[in-house]
Amino acid sequence: MAKRVQTIKSLSSYPFHCPNCDKLIKEIKIYCSDLCRDEASFIRYYRACIADKRIKQNDVKAAIAIRLAHILAGGYNARSRRIPDSIRKEVIRRDNGRCRVCGKPGNQIDHIRGNSSDINNLQLLCLNCHNKKTMANLKPISPDSHPEKYAHAEALLSRVHTSKPLRLCDGTDWSKNWRKILKARKEMGKKMINIRNKNASLFMRKNRHYWHFYYWGRDEKRHCISTGESLKDKAEQFMKQFLTDLEKR
Ligand SMILES: [Zn+2]
Ligand SMILES: [Zn+2]
C-alpha cells in the first residue's frame, strides 16, 4: 500500500513515482514497467466488473482469472506472442474460420504450446473454447505451494475489494488523470533541460540500449553513454543531488 497519500499533484511532481508500485522512475512516463501498467489495468477492470455486475458472467470470471494468472507469471509477454496479420489471416483461412474444438465460428488465434508463432503451433478457436483451454492450464496456488505469488495475488485483490480505490490508478477517473500527470511530467522534463542554462543540470534518459547521462555542473561538463548498470547507479546519485539543488533554488 502507498506510504504517502497519492494525489494528481504528488504523482506529477518530481521525482516521479510509479502510481502502481511507488518505485522511483527516471524517465518521462507513467509506469515503471509494462507489468505495473497491466496490474493497474487489471485492477480497474476487475473493479468495474464488480460495480456493473458483469462479474456474474462466466466469460468475465474466466477473463479475470486468466489476466491474474498472466500477471503472476510475470506478464503476458505480448511481444513474443504477437502474431503478424498475414499469419493470422492464414490460420483463419486454413481452419475455415471455425473453432477447431467445437466448430463454431472462431476469432481467437491460440498458441497450441508455448510462445512460438509458427503456423503449425497456431489454431483458430472460439472465445469460449479458448477460455476453457487457458483455464484448464491454470494451476491453483496456495500459500504453501507458491508463497510469493500468493502474497502478490492477495495484495492485488486487496486493491480490488475496497469501496474506495486505494490508489489513483485503480479509480474510474484514471483515464483522465494519467493524461494530466503525463502532461505535467513532460513539462517538468522540459524544465530540467532548460535549467541547464543556469548552473547545474542533469538529464538522463534511456535511448534504445544506452543510458545517456549529462551533467552540467559549475566546474564540469560531462556526457556519458554507457550500457553498464554502474553508470545507472552513478547517474541516480547525481540525480538525487540535482533534485536537492533544484529545491534550494
Ligand atoms: Zn511500478
Ligand atoms: Zn469453440
DSSP bridge partners of 16: 25
Tell me how far apart the alpha carbons of residues 48 and 171 are, in angstroms, rounded to a whole number: 9
What's the CA-to-centroid distance between 123 and ligand 2, angstroms? Answer: 11
Kindly state the average pLDDT of the residues 84-112: 94
Question: So what's the pLDDT on residue 106?
Answer: 96
How high does pLDDT run on average in the chain?
Answer: 81
What's the CA-to-centroid distance between 104 and ligand 2, angstroms? Answer: 6
Greater model confidence, 223 or 137: 137
Tell me how far apart the alpha carbons of residues 75 and 31 are, in angstroms, rounded to a whole number: 14
Closest ligand by atom to 33 CA = 1
What's the CA-to-centroid distance between 124 and ligand 2, angstroms? Answer: 9
Greater model confidence, 79 or 104: 104
Residue 236: band (very low, low, confident or very high) from pLDDT cuts 50, 70, 90: low
Residue 82: band (very low, low, confident or very high) from pLDDT cuts 50, 70, 90: confident
Grid coordinates given for 158? 486487496
Residue 209: band (very low, low, confident or very high) from pLDDT cuts 50, 70, 90: very low
Tell me how far apart the alpha carbons of residues 193 and 208 are, in angstroms, rounded to a whole number: 20
Tell me how far apart the alpha carbons of residues 190 and 173 are, in angstroms, rounded to a whole number: 26
What's the CA-to-centroid distance between 160 and ligand 1, angstroms? Answer: 17
Q: Is residue 83 scored above 90 in pLDDT?
A: no
Kindly state the average pLDDT of the residues 40-47: 96
Residues lining ligand 2 (ion), CB within 5 A? 99, 101-102, 126, 129
Of 15-19, 51-55, 112-116, 169-173, give the lowest mean pLDDT range.
112-116
What's the CA-to-centroid distance between 156 and ligand 1, angstroms? Answer: 13
Kindly state the average pLDDT of the residues 209-235: 52
Q: Is residue 215 scored above 70 in pLDDT?
A: no
Contacting residues for 117 by C-beta, under 8 A, at least 6 apart: 81, 82, 83, 84, 87, 111
What's the CA-to-centroid distance between 22 and ligand 1, angstroms? Answer: 6
Question: So what's the pLDDT on residue 178?
Answer: 96
Tell me how far apart the alpha carbons of residues 205 and 28 are, in angstroms, rounded to a whole number: 9
Closest ligand by atom to 107 CA = 2
What digits encode the pLDDT tens for the residues 159-197? Answer: 999 999 999 999 999 999 999 999 998 887 766 645 444
What digits encode the pLDDT tens for the residues 122-134? Answer: 999 999 999 899 8
Question: So what's the pLDDT on residue 222?
Answer: 52
Q: Is residue 57 scored above 80 in pLDDT?
A: yes
Grid coordinates given for 51? 460495480
Q: Is residue 223 scored above 90 in pLDDT?
A: no
What's the CA-to-centroid distance between 36 and ligand 1, angstroms? Answer: 5
Residue 8: band (very low, low, confident or very high) from pLDDT cuts 50, 70, 90: very high
Tell me how far apart the alpha carbons of residues 42 and 67 are, in angstroms, rounded to a whole number: 7
